[in-house]
Amino acid sequence: MNFHLSLDYRVPTGCLEPFFEGLRNGVALAERCEACGRVQFPPGGVCGTCGGASLGWVTLAGTGTVILRTDTPDRTFALVRFDGAANAALVEIANPAVQTGPGMLMPPPEGPPRLFFALTDPAETPHA
């Protein structure tokens, strides 16, 4: 027998709403632990170093560097360490033709807010 199920979720983002609002606009909003000073992006609601739950928001430059990268037939994902963050973020790469190196968070072209990262194209970097 066949059974069709179609689900449309509305998912509140709770305490991480400022993070998602930042992603919509390509802004890297990170958490800073008030107890130990750790800065984490993406945030998690709890400090990854001391477990502290008192966290404030800080805006990072949005720049970062690829640590690891994997390519599927149609998309590319990477672990990126954003400048100023102690942890790394799993992102989709916007321009996989550029192999690796530094880049910048950017607003996703469509769909829900997500970690979308454009690598710096050396061909477009002005030389000194």
Partner 1 sequence: MTVLLAGGAMTPFNRRKDGSSLRDWCRTAFARALSDAALEPQDIDTVVFASESDFFTLQLNPAAVITDALALTGVRTLRVEGGGASGHLAVQTGAALVLSGLARRVAVIGAEASAAHLDAGKVGKLYSLSFDAWTDGLTGVGATSIYALSVLDFMGRTGATTDDLAGIAARNRQNARHNPNAHLPLDITAADVAASPVVSSPYRRLDCSPLSDGAACVILARPEDLPRSGVGRVRIAGMGAASDRVRLGDRPAPGQFPAKTKAALQAYQAAGIGPEKIELAEVYDSYSGAQLQGLQALGLAEDVVASERAGRFTGEGGLPVNLSGGLLGQGAPVGATGVAQILVAAQQIEATFPGLRPASPPRRALVDTHGGIATTCAVMILESLA
Contact 39, 74 (CB under 8 A): no
Question: Cα separation of 87 and 60, whole Å?
Answer: 13
Question: Cα separation of 43 and 19, whole Å?
Answer: 7
> Does 36 contact partner 1 by CB under 8 A?
no
Among 6, 8, 54, 73, binds partner 1 (CB under 8 A): 73
Angle value at C-alpha 21, between 15 and 119, nearest 5 degrees: 120
Among 26, 44, 52, 107, binds partner 1 (CB under 8 A): 44
Q: Which stretch binds partner 1 (CB under 8 A): 42-50, 52-60, 94-102, 119-127?
A: 42-50
Query: For residues 54 and 72, which CB has a smaller minimum distance to partner 1 in the complex?
Result: 72
Among 90, 99, 102, 125, binds partner 1 (CB under 8 A): 90
Query: For residues 14 and 126, which CB has a smaller minimum distance to partner 1 in the complex?
Result: 14
CA nearest neighbour of 113 among 22, 43, 47, 36:
22
